[in-house]
Structures are given as structure tokens and as C-alpha cells.
Amino acid sequence: MMKPVGVLALQGDFARHMDSLKRLRCPRKLIRWPEDLETCAGLILPGGESTTFVNLLGKTGLKKAICDFAEKSPVMGTCAGLIILAGEIVNDNMETLGLIDIRVERNAYGRQVDSFTDTVHVPMFEDKPVFEGVFIRAPRIHAYGGDVMSLGRHGQDVVMARNRRILVCTFHPELTSDTRVHRYFVEEMAGKTDS
């Protein structure tokens, strides 16, 4: 029996990630406590408010649990999820999980009213190497380490990247009907789907 992909459900748009996994017919599970991770093949950290996320991770014990989980299993983070996974934030001293060697800037494109949708170029999607990127108070990746691969760009900005077990997006793939980013995470990293 396939293990589910977990979606962190402390706050943020976790329901939309669950919908994307449902469209892929991937087993899925809401994660609210450390023990919820025990049966998961992978974990998704959704968008939301990163400061609130960090506080809740500490209060629930999930901060250490996610770091331990990521030693053997893949984790995907979108928007605030990316910030939480980053090694360094250039405009904030918030403590992150430090699971991917990237330097990021919070709210890099401005306030909520400055949110936008635009084309993201993802060359690994060979048949159609573009993706609709929804950027909501999005972070910007300023730099990344040698073990990090750029997977997608918006203009000159890297907006999708990964290392061995961590996949991050500055945009919100769950806010479109296009499931290719989630499919990539499930099939290429978690390795669990029946479709």
C-alpha cells in the first residue's frame, strides 16, 4: 500500500495542495503533529504567513520532526513554505529550518496588492516548458549553493529549485489547475502515485 504525501495543516492554503494531490489520485494526509509524519512518503509546506508558521512549528514540536523527516524523505515548500526551508533570509532574522542552501528575501515583490500572475519557464516540462506562476507576496531567491539546481525561472529570477530531497517554489502551483509541479514532487521525489 502506498504511503501518503503529507500536507502541513497548521495554517495557510493547505486545502488547495490537498486538492492538487487528489487530482493526481495520490494518497494524502493533513499534518498537525509530529506523529502524523510517521506514515508519510513526503511532505508539503504550503504558503501562509511564515512568522506564524515558525511559531506554530515550535509549539507543536514539528520543527524538529520535519528536520528529522527531511533526512530521509522529500519535502516541498511553496512561498512561505520555501522561506521556512531556506538557509538564510536576507531581510529578517527569523529562524528557519535551513534544509536547502538558498538565500531569500521575504515579500520581495511588494504587498498583497502587488501580487501577480505570469509565465514561469520550466525547461524540464519538455512538452510545454511554461507554467502559470501565481505570485502572492512572494519571496525572491537571491542566491543558491552548489548542491541546488535551478528548475524554473521568471525573467532572471530563479523561482523553482531543488536539492536532493527539498523542492521549493516562490509561486503557488496549487492555485492553478496544472498539477505538473505536484506530479514532479510525487513521482520524482516521493515516488508514490498510481496515475
Distance from C-alpha of 35 to C-alpha of 176, rounded to nearest angstrom: 31
User: Among 40, 79, 169, 182, which one carries the catalytic annotation?
Assistant: 79
User: Among 17, 26, 105, 174, which one carries the catalytic annotation?
Assistant: 174
Ramachandran angles phi, psi of 184, nearest 5°: -60, -45
User: Among 17, 154, 172, 182, which one carries the catalytic annotation?
Assistant: 172
Is 174 marked active-site?
Answer: yes
Is 79 marked active-site?
Answer: yes
Q: Which of 11, 47, 3, 44 is nearest to 181 (CA)?
A: 44
Burial track 147-168 (b if 16+ CB lie within 10 A, e otherwise) = ebeebbbbeebbbbbbbebbbb
Burial track 120-129 (b if 16+ CB lie within 10 A, e otherwise) = bbbeebeeee
Is 105 marked active-site?
Answer: no
- Tell me the catalytic residues: 79, 172, 174
